[in-house]
Amino acid sequence: MEAEKWGRRIRAFRKLKGFTQESFAKELGVSVSVLGEVERGNRLPDEGFKNQVASILNISVDELAPPDEDRE
């Protein structure tokens, strides 16, 4: 569930900033299949990956993070 939320956020910000999956994966230094798995929610990104994504997108990790609304 959490992986899906992260994946949706990463995909949305990637598209908003004008990156294709291919160009973004290249910037991250990962394969398109790894990025695709993260975006589909099949793989939970680790802290390093989240930091790298935020840096490339020029946003903070807090902005990238899914909202806390249903976390109790």
**Could you read off the pLDDT of 24-60 as tens digits, one per residue?**
999 999 999 999 999 999 999 999 999 999 999 999 9
Name the one residue in this structure whose structure tokens are 């946003």: 59
In terms of Cα–Cα distance, which of 55, 60, 2 is closest to 27? Answer: 55
The answer to whether 45 and 1 have CB atoms below 8 angstroms apart is no
CA-only gyration radius of the chain, Å:
11
Calpha distance 72→21 (Å, rounded): 33
* Domain definitions of the chain by residue range: 2-64
Task: Look at residue 71 in the predicted model and tell me its pLDDT.
Answer: 45
Output the pTM of the full model: 0.90
Domain 2-64 architecture: Orthogonal Bundle (1.10)
